[in-house]
Amino acid sequence: MSGKLYGIGIGPGDPQLLTLRAYKLLSQAQVIAVPVKKLGEESTAQNIIRQAVDLKDKTIVALEFPMAHSKEILKESHLKAAARISGYLDQGRDVMLITLGDVSVYSTCTYVLRYVEAMGYETCIVPGIPSFCSGAALAKLPLVEGHENMAVISSIKGTKTLEEALDRFETVVVMKAGRHMNDLCRILKERELVDNTTVISNAGMENQYIGPVVSEKNFGYFTTLIIKQRKN
């Protein structure tokens, strides 16, 4: 009988934000698949779970997901990951594919799960805490209250979506904001929303930053902005 692929959201960085289910599955797992940007490099996700789960005696399978924009390169990496995982599933072993944050929110996991499922294997998704929920908690900032509405956007699509979202929503969450801080800051200044913006960078990790926009600071990839039209 074939093994089953679990896509597990491990939360944004703090190992204590693993769910009980994720913790149990990972503790009992034989095979854990971890995403890396480049083979041989450290896996951020692996570094997080190793603080809560003993990884000794487990098979760690590093899957390379390059930070590329080319759809072909990305698709190739997803198919390659699915093929490697299927090798373990064929041996009757379950595989835990871990991902930062939640599986359904901008996770590479999704593509791989879809391919593996299309190949005929069983899959299961375990949700995780998204970075914006963790960031909101650390900043003591409600995302939405009462009649408010929220947009969650990724900044890669350009700034038009941000403008439209700011026109209509009380709260706008911008994910993967790190590389676009200049454009984002320009819009925030134009709209006098700089003081209403909280930057959440590497939430729950060692180099965590939760605070106001600082234009000189170089924020990393895992940076989320919470923009509130109305200050609490």
| Helix, strand, or coil (residue 113) | helix
The pair of three-digit structure tokens given for residue 196, joined into one six-digit string: 């209403």
**Sequence-ordered list of residues with C-beta below 8 angstroms from that of 182, at least 6 positions apart, any chain:** none
* Contact present, 9 and 127 (Cβ < 8 Å): yes
Q: Which is nearer to a copy of itself, 40 or 120 (CB)?
A: 120
Angle ∠(126,132,134) on CA atoms, nearest 5: 75
- Are 201 and 208 in contact, with CB atoms under 8 Å apart? yes
Q: Tell the smallest beta-carbon distance from residue 98 to a copy of itself (Å).
A: 14
Minimum CB separation of residue 40 from a copy of itself in Å reads 26
- Whole-angstrom Cα distance, residue 86 to residue 91? 9
- Measured from the CB atom, the residue of 215 and 225 that comes closer to a copy of itself is 225
Residue 52 or residue 194: which is nearer to a copy of itself going by CB? 52
| Sites of contact with a copy of itself (CB under 8 A) | 9, 11, 14-21, 23-24, 52, 102-107, 110-111, 113-114, 117, 123, 125-130, 132-134, 136-138, 140-154, 156-157, 161, 164-165, 168-169, 232
Report, in Å, the least distance between residue 68 CB and a copy of itself.
12
Q: How far is the CB of 165 from a copy of itself (least distance, A)?
A: 8
